Structure 1
Amino acid sequence: MTQTHYETNDRFERGQRALAEIDGAGGQKVIDALADIAPDFARYLLEFPFGDIYSRPGLDLRSREIATIAALTALGNAAPQLKVHIAAGLNVGLGREEIVETIMQMAVYAGFPAALNGLFAAKEVFAAHPA
């Protein structure tokens, strides 16, 4: 099935709105940083994760960010993305304690090193975002 130009633009515009609501300036910095090396990848980020997945009904943005923070913590090697999503969690109404508890929960499933890395990422984000 071929996607029409309208459907593609709709996904892109929906993704732009979702990115702005969730990540604010932090998300736009990621998109802007890709402009000179991989502008198509920046578009894919807007269309798929934000235009398709984050825009779905079924989970609110707080729940989606908890899941994302947990997944990025568990990966253990995605500190820049984790920091963006910790800031996004704060932006969509997560409290610091919820974020810390989400990261600590990952010690059970991803190990202490992953949880430690996540906690240090959170500490850095919290310092940059006064309560």
Structure 2
Amino acid sequence: MTHETRLERGRRALAEIDGEAGARVVDALADIAPDFATYLLEFPFGDIYARPGLGLREREIATIAALAAMGNAAPQLKVHLEAGLNVGLTRAEIVEILMQIAVYAGFPAALNGLFAAREASTSEVYGRNPAVPWSETATGCSARLPSTAGAT
């Protein structure tokens, strides 16, 4: 496997997964650490994402869960939340992924992930329609506190 092959495969994978957002991340590294941009393209995208064992959709599920559980990677989480939507995840599935991590990573990690999802999907940067609220994707019961009006 040649250096160019890994790099080109990484560029293709990044473009397919993240679109323009991925290119912006790589471009932002050009004046700081161009070698790091190359490593980013070659290893995670050129080697790992290109493996045949999982599809891009499943890889983004794992990535979203891992980044949200870390609790210290909000910018990367937002990029991968958008990537998840780009590769076919629905908003409802993303909410379920983030709810699932509450069991293993705690409520703070899940809450931060849910708030990051709301911010990422309504960002004009990604061209999403902020008029569609996340609540339309929610399933299950709606938690509402009982009214205290008239209580004595």
TM-score (norm 2): 0.81
**Match of residue 105 from structure 2:** 110
> Once the 2 structures are TM-superposed, how far is the Cα of residue 101 of structure 1 from its aligned partner?
0.5
What is the correspondence of 1:1-131 to structure 2 with a 5 Å cutoff? 7-128=2-123, 129-130=128-129
Counting aligned pairs with the same residue, the percent is: 74
| Worse overlay, 30-39 or 121-130 | 121-130
Rg comparison, structure with higher value: 2
Structure 2 unaligned residues grouped into runs of 5+: 133-152
Which structure features the higher share of helix residues? 1
When normalised by structure 1's length, the TM-score is 0.94
C-alpha distance in 1 between matches for 2:112 and 2:27: 26
Question: How many positions carry a matched residue from both structures?
Answer: 126
Whole-angstrom distance in 1 between the partners of 2:55 and 2:69: 21
> Which runs of 5 or more residues in structure 1 are unaligned?
1-5
